[in-house]
Amino acid sequence: MTIDGRQTLAIHHTAPFLVDVFKALLAERLPGIESFHMVDESLVKEAQREGTLTPEVLRRVEVETRLAQDAGADLVLYTCATISPAADVLRDKISIPLLKIDEPAAVRAVTLGERIQLICTSTTAIDGVKSVIEEKALDAGKRVAVATHVESKAYAMRRNGDKAGHDRCVVDGAMKLPRDYDVLVLGQASMAHLAPALEKALGVPVLGNTTLCIDAIAERFGTGSRFVTKSPRD
């Protein structure tokens, strides 16, 4: 819904602490758009308990997405890498664009090299993010090899409010990986702020997904978008 010439973004979270992260990013980089936040921690808890996106989780994500559309959203961003694969199902059902948090970083990663190292802290996120990178490589006509690494201890620390412990765990894990890749992708929004320091330490491109996602939204609301409601192959 356009309000005084401004478009409206709905941001769907499963981690409450990401609300402030995205509010700050939007205030800095996209002050001209309307936005609102939706938070549902229960979705990721159930997905992790079951090890997959169950039909019930998908149903609830659809309900919440429709509510966002009813509230006037012109685009919905899913910031949880575990939940964001629901967008692949919902794009055929929802008339407004849906953006997964990991898509912009995946698009950038496949332009930077063939050997991609992916780090996540959630075991239920890693396969989905890897699939997005491989999908974007296929769309671009490129061949990539995606290596994966999970720092599960870091996830528990962040969920328990220990941001410093989370950050140390992710950085230590990244520094111990073999240096046989062209680009490192930090696969979750909770890790994205570590990208500049890791890039300096490692000497290779390191991609966080939050600022790249905001840039993609700016493109969508400003000069057009690379992100469409369906894959170009559909």
Q: What is the pLDDT of residue 233?
A: 30
**How many angstroms separate the CA atoms of 107 and 11, rounded?**
20
**Rounded to a whole number, what is the distance in angstroms from the first to the last CA of the chain?**
27
Query: How far is the C-alpha of 64 from the C-alpha of 211, rounded, in Å?
Result: 24
Q: How many CA atoms lie within 13 A of 16 on its CB side?
A: 5
Tell me which residue of 91, 75, 62, 58 sits closest to 234, measured CA to CA: 91
Q: Closest by alpha carbon to 120, among 110, 112, 131?
A: 131
Low-confidence stretches of the chain (pLDDT < 50) are 3, 223-234
Q: Which class would CATH give 8-101+211-221?
A: alpha beta
> Would you state the pLDDT for residue 69?
96
- Non-local (6+) Cβ contacts of 143 within 8 A are 114, 137
The token pair at 41 is: 């921690």
Q: Considering Cα of 190, then 192, then 194, then 198, what sign does the dihedral take?
A: positive
Largest CA distance in the chain: 51
pLDDT of residue 1: 53
Domain ranges of the chain: 8-101+211-221, 103-209
| Structure tokens that stand for 104 in this block | 């912009």
- Topology of the domain comprising 103-209: Rossmann fold (3.40.50)
Q: Which of 80, 101, 134 is nearest to 208 (CA)?
A: 101
What's the rounded Cα separation, in Å, for the pair 83 and 202? Answer: 30
Alpha helices in 163-230 (DSSP H): 163-176, 195-202, 209-221
Per-residue confidence (pLDDT) for residue 222, from 0 to 100: 74
pLDDT, residue 169, reads 96
Per-residue pLDDT reduced to its tens digit, 24-48: 999 998 888 899 999 999 999 999 9
Determine contact, residues 175/201, Cβ cutoff 8 Å: yes
- For tokens 């702020």, name the residue: 193
Mapped onto helix, strand or coil, the DSSP state of residue 50 is helix
Domains 8-101+211-221 and 103-209 share a fold: yes
Q: Can you give the C-alpha Rg of the chain in angstroms?
A: 17
- What pLDDT does residue 32 have? 84
Q: Which residues contact 141 (CB under 8 A, 6 or more apart)?
A: none
- Kindly state the helix (H) or strand (E) to which residue 147 belongs, with its residue range: strand 145-150
H-helix or E-strand spanning residue 163: helix 163-176
